[in-house]
Amino acid sequence: MLKEFVKLGQLRLWQAYCQEQRAKHPLTYLFWETTLRCNLSCRHCGSSCGPRSPVRELSTQEIKDALSTVAADYVAPGIMLAITGGEPLLRPDLFEVVNLAHELGFSWGMVTNGTLVTPEVVAKCKDAGMSTVTVSLDGLKEAHDFIRGKGSFRRAVQGAELVAKAGFPLVQVTTCISQYNFGELEGLHRLVRDLGVDEWRLLTITPIGRARDDPKLLLPPGQLRELLDFIREQRRGLPMGARNIKSPAMAASKPASPPVVLFEEEGFLGPDYEGEVRESYFACYAGVNVGSILADGSIGACPNLPRHLAQGNVRRERFSLVWEKGYQLFRDTSWKRCQRCSSCQWWGFCQGNGLHLWDFERGEPMLCHWRLLRETEGGKGIGDS
């Protein structure tokens, strides 16, 4: 009872902090969606990436100009530049751009499927000052190859081994958990530990893009609860915000401790799991602290959001002007308090769940983690209607 009271107090303090962030909206995280091309065609890809891009992507000079204006208008060292795609390593000018970003003062990291990582790529990443790298690994061999393509598991593991041995400050493996790999949690944990990475990020899958076509990519309520129990057990004893980022002195060797396990899905989980399975309590920072420059130059928030939410385009507008004057639907989310959300006691903490989980046609969340978890208890919970 005391623990629940303390957690509720912490949640209220967190709610106040999030309200302050929405009001001040400091830009601290900027995605560059390098391309919508990918050498794989994953079953769960929210962007439906493939061998060809459906848009006219930014030229080298266009993205360099856009990043230069961001660095001129803000304090670049206070902004993390997240390189994503598609597969970023397919872009031939990638290292020309990230070298400029490093010179401008940005910290930067990359998400890759790992299959194109070579010793030469690792050397270029180090020369360009990369601080974080995330390799996607979605199961042991059979499950990963089924989801991402035959032969991709071996190449992804090799890529993860190369970056883990290279001594970057933070090396992560990200796994999207579905019904195809749910039974492999223990085996995956051993594999990730043996790879020597710093963190293992576990996500559930959002029914967007190609993921809409396969219901087995989504976890049923019971498996969602088991996944969170698994993560909580791995994090037991860790303080809030625990990370495994290595100091420069440690960066040349493999981490001495097992990888920190994190739940990375943006969904409000209710009092049982908030503060237990990730670095902080739930918040959706899209358009609040998180912006993006999309492949076609669109100025957006999280790249997983529908493209109609773009606020402008760097081909026509300066990023900072759009960031300061736009994004109102991201910072005042009262418009989401409708349908089931209107009567939920947890609205103040949840705000209608992560924006990438919002169904704009139906006017309600595609997924409500709180309700799914309550289903496993056989009845309605606080705030349910």
Min mean pLDDT across 31-45, 233-247, 336-350 is at 233-247
Question: How much is the pLDDT for 382?
Answer: 40
CB contact at 8 A, 368 and 375: no
**Residue of 112, 107, 111 lying closest to 130 (CA atoms):** 107
Question: How much is the pLDDT for 253?
Answer: 55
Residue 6's pLDDT band, with cuts at 50, 70 and 90, is confident
pLDDT in tens, 183-194: 999 999 999 999
Q: Extract long-range pairs of 301-305: CB within 8 Å, 24+ residues apart.
A: 301/327, 301/330, 301/355, 302/31, 302/355, 302/356, 303/31, 303/33, 303/47, 303/84, 304/46, 304/47, 304/206, 304/208, 304/356, 305/355, 305/356
Find where tokens 């400091």 sit: 26
Question: How much is the pLDDT for 56?
Answer: 97
CB contact at 8 A, 159 and 151: no
Question: How much is the pLDDT for 385?
Answer: 41
Question: How much is the pLDDT for 251?
Answer: 57
What global pTM score does this model have?
A: 0.93
Please check the confidence at residue 377 and state whether its pLDDT lies above 90.
Answer: no
* Chain mean position to CA 101: 21
Q: What is the DSSP letter of 314?
A: T
CB contact at 8 A, 206 and 367: yes
Question: How much is the pLDDT for 378?
Answer: 57
Is the C-alpha dihedral spanning 156, 234, 190, 44 positive or negative?
negative
Q: What is the mean pLDDT of residues 150-178?
A: 97
Average pLDDT across the chain, whole number: 93
pLDDT in tens, 141-163: 999 999 999 999 999 999 999 99
Please state, for a pLDDT cut of 70, what percent of the chain lies above it.
94
Helices (H), 25-167: 60-73, 94-104, 119-127, 141-148, 152-165
